[in-house]
A and B are shown apart, each in its own frame.
Chain A
Amino acid sequence: NAGVTQTPKFRVLKTGQSMTLLCAQDMNHEYMYWYRQDPGMGLRLIHYSVGEGTTAKGEVPDGYNVSRLKKQNFLLGLESAAPSQTSVYFCASSFPRGQPQHFGDGTRLSIL
């Protein structure tokens, strides 16, 4: 019973490099989300998806892109990494209509 799995768990990038974070869930959830968590702050929503093939912007979408080609996967891309994107990234999934969200254990990303 894996729940929400995020890969990789850690990554160090140089400014300007690109990368993709992968989130996979096995709970048949319709909704998926990407958040970032910075020290002393709560989670901030980057992008989210309410179903396969759909995505929408959250609170802090600039510098990120997402894709939801399969229901179980939600990808977060950084096209040109910047030091301001150093953060811990969390993926979550849920059933619709105000149901609790299930979180992965995060990807710790450092950009030098």
Chain B
Amino acid sequence: SQQGEEDPQALSIQEGENATMNCSYKTSINNLQWYRQNSGRGLVHLILIRSNEREKHSGRLRVTLDTSKKSSSLLITASRAADTASYFCATDAGGTSGSRLTFGEGTQLTVNP
């Protein structure tokens, strides 16, 4: 079963606007990661936030984590056409799981020029 569930499934915005994607999960986590997948390519790691962190920034990306609500959000500011891709959250339960990640179904982001 999928641990993470992303919302919305699809998002279409204009270049320069901000894009927000949400992820909910069900069990305790060690960390939560966001990945991007361009069409026909593999996933690329964007950002990792640990369970004891609440917010993290990387360039135009801002990730928040609320462990009490078991949710995370990814904000992309000043979006560009090149940001068009699918975005996935993935949770790492830690422990003896061998760093196994459980992925959500993804949000398809389209940024129109």
Taking Cβ atoms with an 8 Å cutoff, the residues of A that contact B are 4, 31, 33, 35, 40-45, 48, 50, 56, 58-59, 90, 92, 94, 96-106
Number of interface residues of B (CB under 8 A): 26
Task: Compute how far the CA of A64 lies from the CA of B31 in the bound complex, rounded to whole angstroms.
Answer: 29
Taking Cβ atoms with an 8 Å cutoff, the residues of B that contact A are 2, 4, 30-31, 33, 35, 40-45, 48, 50, 88, 92, 94, 98-106
Q: Given A50-B98, A100-B33, verify A43-B88 contact (CB < 8 Å).
A: yes
Q: Given A40-B105, A98-B30, A98-B31, verify A90-B42 contact (CB < 8 Å).
A: yes
A61 to chain B, nearest CB (A): 13
- State whether A98 touches B92 (Cβ < 8 A): yes
- Number of A-B pairs, beta carbon distance below 8 Å: 64
- State whether B105 touches A31 (Cβ < 8 A): no
Which residues of the partner chain B approach A105 to less than 8 Å between Cβ atoms? 40-42
- State whether A42 touches B42 (Cβ < 8 A): no
Which residues of the partner chain A approach B106 to less than 8 Å between Cβ atoms? 42
Task: Compute how far the CA of A51 lies from the CA of B100 in the bound complex, rounded to whole angstroms.
Answer: 14
- State whether B42 touches A43 (Cβ < 8 A): no
- State whether A42 touches B94 (Cβ < 8 A): no
- State whether B43 touches A94 (Cβ < 8 A): no
B107 to chain A, nearest CB (A): 11
